[in-house]
């Protein structure tokens, strides 16, 4: 079975540019999570969806960040405009919306903002 | 408020020795506890979980964890460490459906040959 697929794996861009990260969850999963990982702050939950509906976006750092899930098989995380402090590894994870089911993570997008 | 603490930033173990990675939690009600492992340049991988029942839970790659309700702990253990176990380990807790996992800050395990 295919796991969670994230693209691109690496992204290098200049500050001020728009960045779009993409995620394809595991088929059948109805929950999707976006995380950010840095050395300084560790693993941070940004936003999560259930059945394509955002449930909690309190972790989104600023209005420059937005996330969408137009259907059950696709989600995007957008940063506009990007800043150097947004440099991090961004992970997407999916799971069933059942409390004892583990999340399955993609291998992340390493984002560098110059 | 829910929280997870991993008191050690790093654990160093010699190959063949037993290892323990510590985790304590704070949550109201019954917790659901998880351990994940992260290898370099990879996403987190699920290792094991405690939901209910036997306090000793067995998981992938020979790992096990012991749930201790009185001490609110869920320590990860392995009887004999391998160099390939070297990675970043995360403990996580969730209280109920409709909420998200709360992760600890992670513990780096280093196994020397």
Smallest CA-to-CA distance from A47 within A69, A24, A80 is with: A69
A108 at B interface, C-beta within 8 A: yes
A45 at B interface, C-beta within 8 A: yes
Write down the pLDDT at residue B84.
97
Mark out the alpha helices in A1-114 (DSSP H runs). none
pLDDT in tens, A53-92: 999 999 999 999 999 999 999 999 999 999 999 999 999 9
Write down the pLDDT at residue A35.
97
Q: What is the mean pLDDT of residues A13-34?
A: 97
Residue B96 has pLDDT above 80, yes or no: no
Q: Which of A55, A56, A99 sits opposite B94 (nearest CB)?
A: A99
**Percent of chain B predicted with pLDDT > 90:** 82
Write down the pLDDT at residue B98.
67
Write down the pLDDT at residue B53.
86
Collect all residues of chain A within an 8 Å Cβ-Cβ radius of residue B97: 97-99
Write down the pLDDT at residue A48.
95
Q: What is the CA radius of gyration of chain A?
A: 13
A14 at B interface, C-beta within 8 A: no
The position carrying tokens 């209910």 is: B52
Which one of B1, B6, B43 makes the best mutation probe of the A interface by having the most chain A beta carbons within 10 Å?
B43
Give A25's DSSP letter: P
pLDDT in tens, B4-56: 999 999 999 999 999 999 999 998 888 899 999 999 999 999 999 999 888 99
């Amino acid at each position: 079975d295919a796991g969670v697929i994230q693209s691109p794996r690496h992204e290098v861009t200049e500050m001020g540019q728009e960045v779009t990260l993409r995620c394809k969850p595991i088929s059948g999963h109805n929950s999707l999570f976006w995380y950010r990982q840095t050395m300084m702050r560790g693993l941070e939950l940004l936003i999560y969806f259930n059945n394509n509906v955002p449930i909690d976006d309190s972790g989104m750092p600023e209005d420059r960040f937005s996330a969408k899930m137009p259907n059950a098989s696709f989600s995007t995380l957008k940063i506009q405009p990007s800043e150097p402090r947004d440099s991090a590894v961004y992970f997407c994870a999916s799971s069933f919306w059942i409390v004892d089911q583990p999340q399955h993570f993609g291998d992340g997008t390493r984002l560098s903002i110059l | 408020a829910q929280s997870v603490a991993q008191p050690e930033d790093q654990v160093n173990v010699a190959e063949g020795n037993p290892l323990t990675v510590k985790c304590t939690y704070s949550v109201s009600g019954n917790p659901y506890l998880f351990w994940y492992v992260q290898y370099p340049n990879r996403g987190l991988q699920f290792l094991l979980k405690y939901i209910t029942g036997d306090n000793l839970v067995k998981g992938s790659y020979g790992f096990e964890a012991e749930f201790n309700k009185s001490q609110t702990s869920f320590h990860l253990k392995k009887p004999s460490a391998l160099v390939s176990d070297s990675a970043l380990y995360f403990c996580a807790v969730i209280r109920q459906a409709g909420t998200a996992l709360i992760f600890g800050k992670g513990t780096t395990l280093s196994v020397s040959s």
